[in-house]
Every structure is written in structure tokens, then in C-alpha cells.
A and B are shown apart, each in its own frame.
Chain A
């Protein structure tokens, strides 16, 4: 029999635990609205603008080979692209990974996509036209970016053989709050999106060691497709990853951010920044992030008064 006192202490415990979880309302009101001004949102939404600003601040990113803004520029497409062995085509203002084509090599006159699909010059010209038309950005007019393809660090490939894993670091007032890596699975169809079935692996910020993993909301210890152990690994270049995230956060006037990073054999590269980073990272880490956030902002206030 559970006594009234036990119920009460249980209730207190639940209240205390709930108090550690960052909720949507609190995230919006206390972190996004107060730290990210709406006029600065294009920095995150427009990848070319982000590249310009972050590149100037010395943040490493995939190299931009070319930008196509007008249809007439496509006349030389075939010879332009022949200069590169592999590359990625993406819309500057796309969302949710739509409109991205990853080319890994050539086959005669054609190109080979990462899934093995063959693209003719006509296919690529059509795709880039669509991007410029605004098919992927719900707006009239966009620009297509051709950039270098990121090759993963071997240790990351071992962890994530089905596609590019990204490391998400939540940054508040230029300091790291919580991090995870998102690993594509068969279930997620090669996408690094947790809601679509990607694997989420929590990483200890201080050490870069994987501490926890979740697949479709359930805790796991092994990769659901390859069976390799997920926990207790140290990610390569971890201190550089955090450094890169900090440099990116310092470079933009957005002070509550999700910074997405990929780890190449030569070091981390920034993929993109997100002004409304999701809350699921708390479930992946098995703890709420409010205590860390409050510590950071409390320190910030002390600094303000000095």
C-alpha cells in the first residue's frame, strides 16, 4: 500500500523532474524569442548567406564549387560539373533535405548518385532548373548550390555506414548545452531525421563519448542494421567539433542554435545552423537540458553585472 506521504513525495519528484525538461513553450519564449531576432532568421534559412557569414568568421564548411541563380548559366553546366569527381546539389533555401542530390562519380557521360541512380546531363539540368524555379522552396526563385561532397571520417562510417551522420550541438549564449549524433538507418531511408527512424546517439559534451542511444523512441545499444556496439565510443576530433560549434555560434547574432556538423577525415565541417532546434535531443540524452541552460544563463547574468 502506498501511503499518502509516498504519493506526495512521488508527486514532488515528478514535479522536480518535469522542471528539468525544456518544454516547447519555454524554449520559444525564454530562449528563441529572447535570443534570436526574427530579422536574423535568413542567416539560418538561406544556406548561401550562412556560408558567406560563417566562412568569413573562419568556420570550416564544405567548399562551394558553383552557384546557379539564372537559367542562362546552365548552358555550361556539363563542362562546369566535369571539373569535379563528386559533389552535392542543393537548393539554397530548401527545407527538410528536399531537393538534394549527392553525386559520387561518373559513368561515361552520366553521373552516379549515392544510391546508385544514374543521372544524365539533362536530368541534372532539369533538377537545377527546378531549384531555380523555386520548386523546393515554395517561393518564386531560389539558387542552386554545387558544393563538395563530405566524406565521413572512417570511425564515423563504422558507426554510420548507411549515410552521412551529423552531430547536433545545441548552443546557448555561445556555449554548448547538449549534443547527439543522428545516424541514418534502413528505416529512415538514409535520412538523418529522428522522426523518420534515424538512430539518435547521445554524446557527452566534455569527453565526446557516446553515452546513450535511441531508435524509434526505444533505448538501444547496438545499431539496428549492422549490430555494432554504439555506446562508449569516443567521436573523432571531438574538441574540434565543439570548437567549430562555438566559432559558428560566435559568428552569428543568433544566440540559441542547433549547429549541425559532419566529421570528415580532415576534421569537422559545419553543415547548417538551425534557429528552432528540436527538443527530442533530451529524450536521446535521457535527461532534460534546462539545468544546463539555467547554469549558462545564470553565469551570463553575473557577467553582465560586472
Chain B
């Protein structure tokens, strides 16, 4: 009977602990979210683009001048990490309220010269709701006069524009929303998209019934201005992974005090996607340069996910904030990076547990895959795996050789470890020599991990043979990759950094898995005859 009571007590303790591990972190996280206003959306990593503009000219002894526009940080896009290498050119930047124009000047340029300008951009998707029923205003403040005027290429006052408008918009009861919708639809649906790289003015676009982005945009602006709605051209660039020369133009229309974007090439009505980079306002050429210098340019864009630093900074303002907590670690020289690895280890261990107890893969040790995945942060997954395989191979081969000489266990292990250290150092030297810098970071594999791996491999090879080691190595690799995917996820990192109490939920999951008695996937395969074959 006392046995039964102890069983009941233990089960009660288990349930209570499980409940605590779920409810306590939920309560703390809930308090942070609702009472302290933690910005949850700020935890989701945002795409960031690195844009690199490479330019090239051929000089024949003349003075060369190149002008272009650099992006500005505004409410929608933020630009930082600007860097340039301009070679023989001297830069000067001229900013006004809208544009940042850079000019690069060099005297007596001979031969091929190149310039590079790079920056990283994070931008938001923006969408406007234009209220129904707003009539087109009679007049605007004088500051908007330039955005209503006729100008070269934008034939606001040409009768053909007026005639075209007559067939697009109704004569009576014009509202802003209605006329913009009609103009947008007309340009999107009735004027074909063409991939011209040249200049098209508004009348040409109208007459041909087809145009590229600049022709459509000029026609849009001309029509809007004709209807007494201020409008302007925007020059920019659609950020997509890869290299290209194509820039882009779209328009902004002044509605109710806001400049509202429209793009009739890609059908964005009153909205602009997060990968549009604004470079300049007005009907400008993106590049201006001295003639006959064989000017070439190329945009190269790469995309990566980055934590939203402003959101994380905002956290430091609230009570119970995490940055203060982490400051303690920084005071003793433990960087947030190392801390992140530490915080992600429990997640890696959880992934390993799932693979071992639910899937049924065998791995070298319970924590080894998570540790290797953490170590692989420095090298990247591929070289991390190469490094891991290297350790396994070297350990197994050395162990074989030493076994043949019949040595005692501990000194043998010490020799295995020493050899592994030497091989890792040689790998680093070799990596640097060959320019494989990721590989060179293999030395950063923490030595404790090397030691555990080497010993486990050597032991297992002795006890269960090389085939078994090969099989478990393969399964361990699968689990390492899974751990890496979880531990390297910026979302997971941001989440755990902001809500370290979630580690208790990891404990709760392990508590649950610790009582999970189902058949592992691999066992299902092993006993498939017993399970699947009918008794018929």
C-alpha cells in the first residue's frame, strides 16, 4: 500500500511540475507582452538587403564625372552600413530635402577604373487606404505647384492627354479614389508592359499603347496632374537576390496630405512592397556621366534575415527587461553571441531528444549533436559537418592503430585527443593557405566537444565495430543538421533572448517526452512484420 501511495505522490509531483513549467513561463511572457508592451512583431527577423553598385569607366586621359543618387533613410526605408571604394575618384555629396546626389570626379583618367558603393537596406511594405468620396481639391498650397506643372516628358497640358482622360474618367462627380482607380487600371490593363531600357515620354506611351516603367509613370503623372492631383516620379530599384542593371520607376500621388505610391507595371495600387528601394524623387536620370567613357554599372543584391535591432533596443526601456540582465554577462566579458549559443543549447538538446526517443535515431551522446551544431555557428553547417567527420575519422583510425599496439584505455584516449588537436590546427593552417576561411574556423570547435566526440567514437568503434560507427555517424549528422536549423534560426534566437523563461517550456516538453512510451519510428520499421502483417 505504501508503494501505491508513493506512486501517487510521484505522479502528483510530475503533473504539478509539468503544469508549473508551462504556466509560469506563459505568465511571465504574458506579463511582458501585455503589461510591459513587449513588441512581439519586433522579434520576427526582418529581411535585410545588401545592395552593391559596381561601376566602371574607361578613361583616355580626360576628366571624368559620374553622378548618381544614393538612398536616404525615411519613414519606410532605413539605409545603413554605407561603404564605398572609389579608387581615383573623389566624392562629393549634395543633399536637398528630397535627394542625395553623389558625384565622383577624377582628373586625367587613364585606363579602366572602377567604383563600388554598397549599403544595406531594410524597408517596410506600405499600403494606403484612400477614403471613398473625397472630391478632388480645387487648390493646394503653393509648395505643391511643381507637382502639378507641365514639364518636359510629362505633357500635362497636351490636348491628347485631356482627350484620353475623357474616355477614362467620368465628367461629373469625380472623386480622388475613383479617378486614381480608373487611371491605374487603364495603365495596368490597357497599356502593355514593355521591357524598353530607353526613355519614353507620356505622349509616346499613350500613342504606342505600350511602355516600360518610365513611360507609364510619366503618363500616370501627366494624367493625375491634368486632373489637378499633385503627382511625382520616383526612381528606384527592386531589390531581388542576384545581379541586374534594371532600375525601376513608379509614382507618388498626393492624397489628403500623404504621398501615396502607385506602380502600374507590377500593379501596386496605393501600396509599395518591402523590396522597393527609393533612390530619388523627380524626373531624373539615375546615372549621369561624362560622355564616351564606356560607363558600365551593375546592381548586386543579396538578402539576409536580421534581428530587428530597434525592437530589441526598445525592450531595454521596459522594466523586467532582458538587456539589463544580459549586461551582467557583458560585464564579465561574456558576449551576447556566446550567451545566445548557451540559450540555444537546450533547444538543440530537445531536438536531439525528439530524434532519439520519437524517431529512434542513435547519436553519439545526447548533447553532442547540439554542441556540434553550436560549434558549427562559426564555420557554417557544411564545414561544421566536414570538421565533425574529420574528428570521427581521425579518432577511429588512430584508435585502431593504438589498439593494435595494445595500450591502456586512458593514455590511448589522450593520444587520440592530441592527434585530433594537431589535425584541427593543420586544417586551419591549410584552410588559410587555400583561402577557405570558414574551414579555418574549425579550430574554434570547443576542445571539450572534440574530446567527447573523439572518445565516444573510439569507444564505440572498439565495442561495436566500424559499421556501427559509420551508421551512427550518419544519423548524428542528420540530427546535427536539424539542431543547426533550429539553433541558427534568428527567430528562435530573438524569441529566447527576449523570453528566456521559455526555456522552462523546453523543460516541460522534456518532462512530457520523458513519459512518452510510444513506438519510435525506427521501431515501427523494425517490428513492421509484427505490426503490419495480417494474421489472416
Contacts and interface: CB of A to CB of B under 8 A. Distances in A.
Nearest to A139: B409
A25 B521 CA distance: 12
Given A18-B531, A23-B517, 5 more contacts: A21-B530, A21-B531, A25-B519, A135-B409, A282-B530
Contacts of B517: 23, 25-26, 29-30
A21 B527 contact: yes
A23 to B, nearest CB: 4
B529 A288 contact: no
Contacts of A29: 514-515, 517
B526 A283 contact: yes
A269 to B, nearest CB: 26
B463 interface: yes
A23 B518 contact: yes
Given A96-B463, A138-B459, A21 B408 contact: no
Interface string B42-79: 00000000000000000000000000000000000000
B532 interface: yes
A54 to B, nearest CB: 25
B408 A24 contact: no
A25 B357 contact: yes
Interface in A1-37: 13-14, 17-18, 20-21, 23-26, 29-30
Interface string B511-525: 000111111100110
B532 A24 contact: no
A134 interface: yes
A288 B530 contact: yes
Contact of B532 (A14, A96, A279): A14
B408 A288 contact: no
Contacts of A140: 408-410
B406 to A, nearest CB: 7
A304 interface: yes
A138 B409 contact: yes
Nearest to B524: A18
25 contacts: A14-B531, A14-B532, A17-B531, A18-B527, A23-B518, A23-B519, A23-B520, A23-B523, A24-B360, A25-B357, A25-B518, A29-B515, A95-B463, A98-B463, A133-B408, A134-B408, A135-B409, A282-B527, A283-B527, A283-B529, A283-B530, A286-B529, A286-B530, A287-B530, A288-B527
B534 interface: yes
Interface of B: 3-4, 357, 360, 406, 408-410, 459, 463-464, 514-520, 523-524, 526-527, 529-532, 534
Instruction: Name the prevailing secondary structure of the B interface residues.
Output: helix
Contacts of B529: 283, 286
A130 interface: yes
B528 to A, nearest CB: 10
A207 B360 CA distance: 36
A25 B356 CA distance: 10
A21 to B, nearest CB: 5
Nearest to B407: A135
Contacts of A23: 517-520, 523
A22 to B, nearest CB: 9
B459 A96 contact: no
Nearest to B360: A24
Top 8 A-B pairs, shortest CB-CB distance: A26-B517, A23-B519, A25-B517, A18-B531, A17-B531, A21-B527, A138-B409, A23-B523
A140 B408 CA distance: 8
A288 B533 CA distance: 13
A20 B516 contact: no
Nearest to B358: A25
Given A134-B409, A140-B408, A140-B410, A24 B531 contact: no
Contacts of A96: 463-464
B363 to A, nearest CB: 14
Nearest to B463: A96
Nearest to B532: A14
A53 B379 CA distance: 54
A96 B524 CA distance: 26
Nearest to B523: A23
Contacts of A21: 519, 523, 527, 530-531
A95 B357 CA distance: 25
A282 B528 CA distance: 11
Contacts of B527: 18, 21, 279, 282-283, 288
Contacts of B4: 304
Contacts of B515: 29
B471 to A, nearest CB: 11
Q: Which of B520, B527, B534 has the most chain A CB atoms closer than 10 A to its own CB?
A: B527
Nearest to A218: B529
Contacts of B530: 17, 20-21, 282-283, 286-288
Contacts of A30: 517
A184 to B, nearest CB: 17
A286 B517 CA distance: 21
Q: Which of A18, A98, A139, A279 has the most chain B CB atoms closer than 10 A to its own CB?
A: A18
Contacts of A24: 360, 520, 523
Q: Which of B360, B516, B524, B526 has the most chain A CB atoms closer than 10 A to its own CB?
A: B526
Contacts of A283: 526-527, 529-530
Interface string A273-306: 0000001001100111000000000000000100
Contact of B520 (A25, A95, A133): A25
A12 to B, nearest CB: 12
A140 B534 CA distance: 52
Contact of B408 (A135, A282, A287): A135
Q: Which of A14, A25, A140, A288 has the most chain B CB atoms closer than 10 A to its own CB?
A: A25
Given A140-B408, A288-B530, A18 B519 contact: yes
A14 B406 CA distance: 51
A173 to B, nearest CB: 13
B516 A25 contact: yes
A253 B532 CA distance: 37
Contacts of B531: 14, 17-18, 21
A83 B100 CA distance: 102
A134 B411 CA distance: 12
Contacts of B3: 304
Contacts of B406: 130, 135
B59 to A, nearest CB: 74
Contacts of B360: 24
B529 to A, nearest CB: 7
B480 to A, nearest CB: 22
